[in-house]
Amino acid sequence: MFEVLVFVYENYWRGDACPEPHQLERKLSAHGFEPEEIHQALVWLDGLNVAAQNICVPEESQLEWAPEPSETSMRVFSIAEQDHLGADCLGFLSFLESAGVLPAALREIVVDRAMAAPGDPVPLDALKIIVLMVYWRFSIEPDALVLDELCDDSEDRVAH
């Protein structure tokens, strides 16, 4: 499924540029993706569209939305979310939030879509694709450093 999502991200630069599901299914099939992978990806993308329906993105400022939770508020993850996301993914979400690049509204969509993703726990690389797809859905282009963090393979890093 994630290979299909990466293909969609790379070939349709914005969520609103993506063709309708039936047409997208034919294009994905023509590119050699397996029917089961295509089906899973289309169901997942449909869930992303449903989750994003009530979120409005301002034109001028991409990541400054109101109302945001107060600075003293805290997101508590349920046991099911903790189990399914795992420590690596929860830590990465916390990193993105503390860096100011993942507002609460987007975080909730990321968590929703991660809960719908396969894996127990969800691999960190899969979560990074999910974050990219949420940005993609809202036509948000992450800045270069965030994009580098989302596309970087952390296993190749050397600790200093």
CB distance 33 to 7 below 8 Å:
yes
What are the backbone dihedrals phi and psi of residue 125, each rounded to the nearest 5 degrees, phi first?
A: -60, -35
CA 30, 153, 119, 129 torsion: positive or negative?
A: negative
- Residue 149's pLDDT is what? 79
Give me the number of domains the chain comprises. Answer: 1
Instruction: Look at residue 124 and tell me if it is in a domain.
Output: yes
Q: What is the pTM of this model?
A: 0.84
Calculate the dihedral angle through the C-alpha atoms of 78, 82, 88, 89, rounding to the nearest 10 degrees: -50
Instruction: Look at residue 99 and tell me if it is in a domain.
Output: yes
CA 6, 139, 52, 150 torsion: positive or negative?
A: positive
- Longest pairwise C-alpha distance within the chain: 50
Cα 51 from Cα 88, distance rounded (Å): 23
- Residue 147's pLDDT is what? 78
Instruction: Look at residue 109 and tell me if it is in a domain.
Output: yes
- Residue 88's pLDDT is what? 95
Instruction: Look at residue 51 and tell me if it is in a domain.
Output: yes
pLDDT in tens, 140-158: 888 877 778 778 765 554 4
Show the domain range for 102: 2-60+71-156
Instruction: Look at residue 18 and tell me if it is in a domain.
Output: yes
Confidence category of residue 60, pLDDT binned at 50, 70, 90: very low
Establish how many alpha carbons lie within 13 A of residue 159's alpha carbon, considering only the half-sphere containing its beta carbon: 0
Instruction: Look at residue 134 and tell me if it is in a domain.
Output: yes
Find the helix or strand (DSSP H, E) in which 88 lies: helix 79-98
Instruction: Look at residue 39 and tell me if it is in a domain.
Output: yes
Q: How many CB atoms lie within 10 A of CB 97?
A: 15
pLDDT in tens, 62-83: 455 445 566 667 889 999 999 9
Cα 34 from Cα 44, distance rounded (Å): 15
Question: Average pLDDT of the chain?
Answer: 85
AA identity, residue 108: E
First to last CA, the chain: 35
Q: How many CB atoms lie within 10 A of CB 88?
A: 15
Instruction: Look at residue 66 and tell me if it is in a domain.
Output: no
Cα 92 from Cα 153, distance rounded (Å): 13
